[in-house]
Amino acid sequence: MKKLTTILIAVVALASCSRKTLPPATTVTNDSKETIIHYVTKDSIVKVAGDSVRIHDSLPCPEVEYHKEVKSDKGNVTAKVDISKGKIDVDCKADSLQARITWLEKNMYSISSHSEVKQVPYEVKVPTPYTPKWHWWLHLLLLLLVGWTFRNPIVSLFKHFISKWN
């Protein structure tokens, strides 16, 4: 019987309501910056206009005659010399140039991001005291069990008080 009483008291102690605690509100902030580099190959055509130089002059020797035309190895420049009848004529011509050039262009992009995680503080509700019905029934059962266990001393105590009043 004592074991049953001890078990019932332990059950009541374990079944009593406990208050739950919640963690405090916190804020976490993350900042990041990222740089992205792209290399882009670009090309273009460059045009250089042709040019020419011409010289006309006279020489004191009219009997000299000379004719010569010279071209460069690539064929872009031509020089022509004519000497006749005491006159010199020098003509230099450079053809127009059209070249394709290629270069590497570097593009940089900076991306910065900011993220913030907030835990909103919550309202703590104070619980209202509440005792379930089964708890009351268990108290009644324990009271009856204690009364039955100690019935002899309780009955003799009541008899003693009743005898004094009579």
**Residue at 14 is within a domain:** no
How far from 70 is each of 42, 58, 84, CA to CA, in Å?
Answer: 38, 22, 18
Question: Is 15 inside a domain boundary?
Answer: no
pLDDT confidence of residue 52: 85
In a domain, 68, yes or no: yes
- Using alpha carbons, select from 41, 47, 49 the residue that is nearest to residue 100: 47
Instruction: Assess if residue 82 is contained within a domain.
Output: yes
Q: What's the total number of domains in the chain? A: 1
- For residue 48, is it within any domain? yes
Query: What is the rounded CA–CA span in Å between residue 166 and residue 163?
Result: 5
Lookup: tokens for 60: 């004191």
* Residue 41 resides in a domain: yes
The average confidence (pLDDT) of the chain is 81
pLDDT tens-digit profile, the chain (166 residues): 777 777 767 766 666 655 555 555 566 667 778 888 888 888 888 888 888 888 888 888 888 888 899 888 877 788 999 988 888 899 998 888 778 888 888 888 888 877 777 777 777 788 888 888 899 999 999 999 999 999 999 899 889 888 887 7
- Domain assignment present for residue 103? The answer is yes
Structural domain harbouring 111: 31-150
pTM assigned to the model: 0.33
In a domain, 24, yes or no: no
